[in-house]
Structure 1
Amino acid sequence: MSRRRSPLPGGPDSAAEQLLTLGHLAGEALERVKLQRARVELAAALQRYLLPPELPDRLSGFRVAARYTPARGGLDVGGDWYDAFPLRDGSVAMAIGDVQGHDVEAVAFMGQVRTGLRAIAHTTTDPGEVLEGTNDLLLSMGCGLFATCTFVRFDPRTGELAAARAGHVPIVWATATGRCGVALDDGGLPLGIQCAEQYPVSRRRLTEPCVFVLLTDGVVEGPSCPLERGLEEVMRLVSAGVGTGVDDLAAQVVQVADLTGHSDDAAVLVACYDGLAKGSPQ
């Protein structure tokens, strides 16, 4: 007499059900990957659109270059940005900033900050007033985010440089005669925090060839490098780079971020000044 065998767990029917379940899970995972990829591409495209497509290149005795590297987490985008544009009086405005966050909202807010700065810079030549006006504008819009920023106005014809900071990393500079340093001038709070904030303006007159660098903290600060050490490394590169190509120097400076172990995005704006031409007003 033969004995009937009872079905074993995990037989054909059970295996088919498991494959069907795995198929559903794989499909859902694929949809999530596609959605995440679409979000990354959207944010990256928005960021590219909001950064300046080109920088001033027709100013006698003055050259400028910039570099940007994305964050290594989140949506791989962030709020770091830079800008440089000529003003009506013949001077040039330069700005760099860092917006809170690493997502589409941060990128959109970055565009608002940059647009506000540009608009106000065409109504006043004072960097402190530019930051004050932008700060009040952002607060009136109720954005709920904040941004650090440095704004510089430079006149290559006279060598006059005026700068103001809103909670941002200081400017690094070096001259052709070997002098170098970090401009630890007083500044105000980041933009978007407090109404009627004041932003002190530092003023200098440059007469010899020099380089000054605007950057974000993603370049000089990270888990393996404190801010002071990162600034010293940038100062070393800038001192050795006076008189070299501005594009090469910008590329070297942004690579300091690789030494800091940072996961933040990073931006660098380098300006090289050839000094006062003969016959320029003193």
Structure 2
Amino acid sequence: MTRRRPSRSATADDLLTTLGRLTDRVRQGAERQRARVELAEALQRSMLPTGLPDLPGLQVAAEYAPARNGLDIGGDWYDGFVLPDGSLGFSIGDVQGHDVEAAAFMGQVRMGLRAVATATTDPGEVLGRANELLLSMDHGLFATCSFLRFDPVTGELESARAGHVPAIWATAGGQGGVVEDEAGVPLGILPGEAYPVARRRLSSGGAFVLLTDGVVEGPSYPIEAGLDAVARLVRSAVTTGVEASELASQVMGVAAQTDHTDDAAVLVLVHDPEETRPPRP
């Protein structure tokens, strides 16, 4: 018969040693995860434009928040550039998926829209041609998108949507709300799709806000509630003459209420003709 060795009770030193080893493992794992998250965020941000148009008559500002699911790489983007006729083009969108392929596809969509807009400035045609371009690439992915053309001299604004979240508008007097214009299907799904164009005038001091669903929708937060919250915020903010950068920050703050883990983007236009701007201190 084999005799069992008597078990030894764990001493305080043994417990402290074991706890120390576990703590080191947790710390090392946390540091690796933090490094991976920082890498993902850097990749996300590298896909966005380094600047936005800066012309008299218009304030433009944008905010972007990366995904909060560790290595999830979101496909949200915004963009702004000068069109061949001197007006301004803006886009915002969201690509299907949350991986490196989706991020690369997002870059192609953003640059594809820029390329198409050099040939036509009509937002509906821009989206239509971009749709055919993406279908020809045969990625098997799709993207929602809004594209608009703005004339800072006249305040005329033309916009079209490809299955994307509605925009928000407001006048300097605090009127406005959700822009429920007709939309076509997302880019990269159906050939020959038409994208209706909506036309409006953005009065002096008025704002037009483009955003992605990461700002206004969450697991238990319906998109309608998020859009209403942003609309109320924008209507109130414009009556105080808020700067575009501050308004973009305030709108992005709505995302904290939705508990959404996806990435999020906001693009704000405030029509601010040079002659109406108060002198800067």
Residue matched to 1:97: 93
| Cα distance in 2 for residues equivalent to 1:202 and 1:219 | 23
Residue matched to 2:245: 247
Displacement of 1:44 = 3.1
User: What secondary structure sits across from 1:111 in the alignment?
Assistant: helix
Displacement of 1:39 = 5.7
Residue 133 to residue 118, structure 1, CA distance change in 2 (3 Å): same
Residue matched to 2:69: 73
Residue matched to 1:198: 194
Counterpart selection for 1:109 from 105, 109, 115: 105
Answer with 1 or 2: which has the greater Rg: 1
- What fraction of aligned residue pairs are identical, expressed as a percent? 62
The answer as to 2:272 corresponding to 1:274 is yes
Which aligned pairs between 1:14-33 and structure 2 lie closer than 5 A? none
Residue matched to 2:260: 262
| Number of residue equivalences | 259
Which aligned pairs between 1:45-194 and structure 2 lie closer than 5 A? 45-57=42-54, 59-194=55-190
TM-score of the aligned structures, taking structure 1 as reference length: 0.83
Conservation of the 8 A alpha-carbon contact between 2:214 and 2:265: yes
Residue type matched to 2:48 in 1?
L
Conservation of the 8 A alpha-carbon contact between 1:43 and 1:104: no
Residue 94 to residue 10, structure 1, CA distance change in 2 (3 Å): farther
Residue type matched to 1:77 in 2?
I
| Cα distance in 1 for residues equivalent to 2:35 and 2:109 | 25
Task: List runs of 5+ in structure 2 lacking aligned partners.
Answer: 9-20, 277-281
| Cα distance in 2 for residues equivalent to 1:223 and 1:256 | 14
TM-score of the aligned structures, taking structure 2 as reference length: 0.84
| Cα distance in 2 for residues equivalent to 1:38 and 1:136 | 39
User: What secondary structure sits across from 2:139 in the alignment?
Assistant: coil
Residue 39 to residue 130, structure 1, CA distance change in 2 (3 Å): farther
User: What secondary structure sits across from 1:162 in the alignment?
Assistant: strand
User: What secondary structure sits across from 2:135 in the alignment?
Assistant: helix
User: What secondary structure sits across from 1:124 in the alignment?
Assistant: coil
